[in-house]
Structure 1
Amino acid sequence: MILSDVEISRLVSSGRLVIRPFDGSMLTPNGIDLSVGEEAMIMESASGGRRVDLERETDFELPPGSHVLVVAEEYLELPPDVVGTVNLRSTYARRGLLIPPTVVDAGYRGRLTLALRGAPYPLRIRRGERIWHLLLLESHPVGRPYSGKYQGSTGLTPAP
């Protein structure tokens, strides 16, 4: 079952679901919006690229067709019976951005590093811009909550 804004608010209020920072304006009827954090990386190879410090620069340009990693501003803690899936907000898809299918496993704790594929033309992305939508789904409690290599991420985390 997809969690509604009412259920998400209830879970956050009870402390079972942690979203920091959290305010009601990020709620949508069926999820929450996630925003661009303080760091991005324009990938130049599978193992790295040019880091962009969005604490110094307020925005950056995604080169046409580029592969970019961006840390989300929000810190999440999902309970063992909630799983998430991340999508682009419609406005950004209409501008030509793409993201790969992204699942946030039950039990995940940390800040997400999300991949973006640039449009066929340059686009600017600003820190704090709400470009992703996190859809939260109720699950049967898992026997083994997520404990992989990205657990506890606090900043941009490229693949090893």
Structure 2
Amino acid sequence: MILVDWQIMDRISRGQIKVEPFEPGLIQPNSLDIRLGDHFVWYVPGDRVIDPYDKESVTAEVEEMTADEVILYPGQFMLAETKEVLSLPDNIVASIEGKSSIARLGIELHQTGGWIDAGFIGSITLEMCNVNQRPVKMYAGMPIGQLVFYTTERAEQPYNLKQDAKYQGQRQATLSRYHENQRLIQ
């Protein structure tokens, strides 16, 4: 079941869902708006291959900055953080969706990583891309996306109890940690 406005407010006020900082005005009929943080990371253009199993190649040739605004150029991919830090209980999951007004500027908010497991605690790393023909300026603190919350049965092993929870407690835009997975031999 998708939580509606009063249910979202109820879960937050009772501490089941934690959002820091929380602004009640960001609650929508079926979601909670989230804002762009001020930390950004991107790969320097080049031909060097990124191997998901090789930490050095994943973390090489990246740039990052903390800023109040950023320009996303056509075709550019950038990781960004949400201003909000989220904490979910073991029976609520969330998905992150873009805001229509931002999508109409050509900004994709997440590529495929739009699911937030029960038990997750941390800021959310956004996987942004500009598919417009023109650069788009974005500002820290602007509503950029929305979280849709779903109630589920209680997870037996929520994200915060998983031994391999690579992104638990993350703050700031976080590069892929796929290299922490065990490579399966075929």
Pair in the same fold by TM > 0.5 = yes
Q: What percentage of aligned pairs have identical amino acids?
A: 27
Listed one character per residue, the Cα deviations across residues 32-89 of structure 1 (whole Å, up to 9, x for unaligned) are 01111120112237424221212xxx21111111111001010110011111100110
1:152 to 142, 146, 169: 169
Partner of 2:131: 119
TM-score (norm 2): 0.80
> Which structure has the larger Rg over C-alpha atoms?
2
Q: Residues of 2 paired with 1:12 and 1:86: CA distance?
A: 17
Supply the AA of the counterpart residue of 2:156.
G
Which range is displaced more, 146-155 or 39-48?
A: 39-48
Q: CA deviation at 1:93?
A: 0.8
- Is 1:88 matched with 2:98? yes
Equivalent residues of 1:65, 1:119 under 8 A apart: yes
- Structure having the larger proportion of residues in strand: 1
Partner of 2:183: none
Equivalent residues of 1:37, 1:73 under 8 A apart: yes
Partner of 1:35: 35
Supply the AA of the counterpart residue of 2:106.
G
Instruction: Give 3-state SS (helix, strand or coil) of 1:28's partner.
Output: coil
Equivalent residues of 1:42, 1:52 under 8 A apart: no
1:100 to 108, 111, 129: 111
Q: Residues of 2 paired with 1:20 and 1:68: CA distance?
A: 23
Supply the AA of the counterpart residue of 1:75.
V
Q: Residues of 1 paired with 2:140 and 2:93: CA distance?
A: 26
Supply the AA of the counterpart residue of 1:115.
E
**Aligned-pair Cα RMSD in Å:** 1.3
Partner of 1:6: 6
Q: How many residues align?
A: 157
List, as ranges, runs of 4+ consecutive aligned residues in structure 1 with deviation greater than 6 Å.
Answer: none
Partner of 2:156: 143
Q: Residues of 2 paired with 1:87 and 1:30: CA distance?
A: 12
Q: Residues of 2 paired with 1:152 and 1:76: CA distance?
A: 9
Listed one character per residue, the Cα deviations across residues 88-139 of structure 1 (whole Å, up to 9, x for unaligned) are 1000111111122310001000111110111232111100011111111111
Equivalent residues of 1:2, 1:135 under 8 A apart: yes
Instruction: Give 3-state SS (helix, strand or coil) of 2:174's partner.
Output: coil
Instruction: Give 3-state SS (helix, strand or coil) of 1:124's partner.
Output: strand
Partner of 1:19: 19
Q: CA deviation at 1:150?
A: 0.2
